[in-house]
Structure 1
Amino acid sequence: MKSKIVIEVQMRCDKCRSKAMKIAASTDGVESVALQGDDRKSLVVTGDGVDSVNLTKTLRKKIGRAVIVEQGEVKKKEEDKKKVEENKIQWWPQPVVVYDQLESNPNPCSII
């Protein structure tokens, strides 16, 4: 079961952000790590079997204040595909009509 964890971390500079991302990526079960928010202070961790409490404690020790903001399951892709299929517009190609101009007008020149 995949879970999505949002952790707000006190990050002042880009060095702190990259350090926090490295710590989160090295945790067992993590599949993806991203920064979120206007100030890029929220760390979004997605994975299977991620220990959010242990990750938060590690971030507190290495970087500074860290608080779990949100934790929940990730929706399956099948549900997303169903929604996309419902919103699709069906397109039917128009029939191609070819007129044979040579049989109706033997002279191809139009200025006569």
Structure 2
Amino acid sequence: MKKVEAIIQQEKLEELKLALDQKLDTTGMTVTQVLGCGNQKGLKEYVRGQEIITTLLPKVVVSFVVFDEKVEDIIQLILSICQTGEVGDGKIFVSPIEEAIRIRTGERGKEAI
């Protein structure tokens, strides 16, 4: 099992959710609103003539725990929806999951997913 975490632009979340429902049989996801900065280095805005540089930009982290054979499908779907070619598109991280346990039933491993 693997955990796929994608940090994406907020406006891409609904489109990604819709595509996941239509194209992939995922067992679930977790969505977290976050603030962060990377290569984009923030955003310059003007409010009432004053320059304001926002260094932490709002993003969304979407997390999935999936079987190894579905990892590439999830990655390709995220890329197809969220990739604009501009700075600030986000990042995808893939990590191994050693164990999964469903609290309600005590099921472990694949049965817990």
Q: Which band: TM-score by shorter chain?
A: 0.3 to 0.5
The structure that is strand-richer by fraction is: 2
Q: Which has the higher contact order (CA 8 A, sep 6+)?
A: 2
Using structure 1 for the length normalisation, give the TM-score: 0.47
- Higher percent of residues as helix: 1
Normalization by structure 2: what TM-score?
Answer: 0.47
